[in-house]
Homo-oligomer: A and B are copies of this chain.
Amino acid sequence: MVAPSGIVTLLTDFGTEDAYVGILKGVILQINPVLTIVDLTHQIPPQNVALGAFQLHQTYRHFPPGTVHLAVVDPGVGGTRSAIAIMTPTGCFVGPNNGILGQILTDAQHEGSFADCHALILDNPRYWYTSAPSRTFHGRDVFAAAAAHLASGLPFQELGTPMVLEQLALLDLLQFQSAESGLRGFVQAVDRFGNVISNIPNDAVQDRTWLAKAAEQNFPSHSTYSEVSVGSPLSLVGSHGWVELSVSGGNAQQQYGLGIGDPIELTWS
């Protein structure tokens, strides 16, 4: 078990207009005023669990081991989904058991650390913010409190009842496929710059060149934006681990009308 880093990250779909994020921080600092709180993002589209899982997945491994990551996109709050925590060699994670944390375990499997992962249900009322949690705001009443206690060094198992890792909800993510002369994938996210992020991992194209095609448009592979003229489409090994489609100095999403779920075909060249 890694010593806590004293850092708590927050990822939610709460937005920044309302008081919700401030309340999470208040609860955390009430429990331990010297914790460091870092916002990952609060702009996940409301109730979009898949995009929440994607952003968390891009980010968590860049934090010190022992960091606690709170991830709350929670359309089923107050219903039957359980509130959980996971501990891995990389850090601790708290959130609803609706798939938002599923990718963490998939990563652990790939990295061979699955046996060092543990999960539990946050059912020990001693570590809730209130003895009678709201039916609509577990972010405040269950998750923030759990995150603060974990980041302060509370032994993991104190937080609740152990669960087997196989009970963790996983998202049914679209997978990329090998085709005869290349790969077939899908758009899994689009960033602020209009870069279109596929679900084809960089590993799958390493040391090769290719032509990507999406929305009837060709995106030839290059190493960096400046290899093509401003306004030209290209495809490259992205900084987060996925093949991306871009427009140099422009916005590929807007220019070609691409969106999440659209197919992408890669042909080796």
Complex CA gap A47/B7 in Å reads: 31
B239 in contact with A64 (CB, 8 Å)? no
Complex CA gap A29/B66 in Å reads: 12
Complex CA gap A41/B14 in Å reads: 12
B17 in contact with A29 (CB, 8 Å)? no
Task: Provide the main secondary structure of the chain A interface.
Answer: loop
In whole Å, how far is A53's beta carbon from the nearest beta carbon of chain B?
A: 12
Stretch at the interface among A174-182, A208-216, A221-229: A221-229
A59-B19, A77-B224, A236-B136 given; A33·B33 CB < 8 A: no
Q: Which residue of B lies closest to A191 (CB)?
A: B18
Q: Which residue of B lies closest to A244 (CB)?
A: B136
A136-B236, A191-B18, A236-B135 given; A33·B58 CB < 8 A: no
Stretch at the interface among A20-28, A103-111, A118-126, A161-169: A20-28
A136 in contact with B26 (CB, 8 Å)? no
In whole Å, how far is A54's beta carbon from the nearest beta carbon of chain B?
A: 8
Q: Which residue of B lies closest to A76 (CB)?
A: B226
Residues of B within 8 A of A236 (CB): 135-136
A7 in contact with B33 (CB, 8 Å)? yes
One complex includes copies of this chain to the number of: 3
Residues of B within 8 A of A134 (CB): 239
B33 in contact with A64 (CB, 8 Å)? yes
A16-B43, A29-B36, A140-B62 given; A78·B22 CB < 8 A: no
Residues of B within 8 A of A15 (CB): 43, 191-192
A36 in contact with B33 (CB, 8 Å)? yes
A27 in contact with B62 (CB, 8 Å)? yes
Complex CA gap A24/B99 in Å reads: 25
Complex CA gap A100/B33 in Å reads: 26
Interface string of A131-162 (1 = CB under 8 A from B): 00011110011000000000000000000000
Residues of B within 8 A of A7 (CB): 29, 33
A249 in contact with B47 (CB, 8 Å)? yes
A63 located at the interface, meaning its Cβ lies under 8 Å from any Cβ of chain B in the complex? yes
Residues of B within 8 A of A75 (CB): 225, 249
A30 located at the interface, meaning its Cβ lies under 8 Å from any Cβ of chain B in the complex? yes
Which A residues lie at the B interface, using CB under 8 A? 5-7, 9, 11, 13-23, 25-27, 29-30, 33, 36-43, 46-47, 55, 58-60, 62-64, 67, 75-80, 134-137, 140-141, 191-193, 223-226, 236-240, 249, 251
A-B contact pairs, 8 of them (CB 8 A): A9-B22, A16-B16, A17-B192, A18-B191, A19-B59, A21-B41, A23-B62, A77-B224
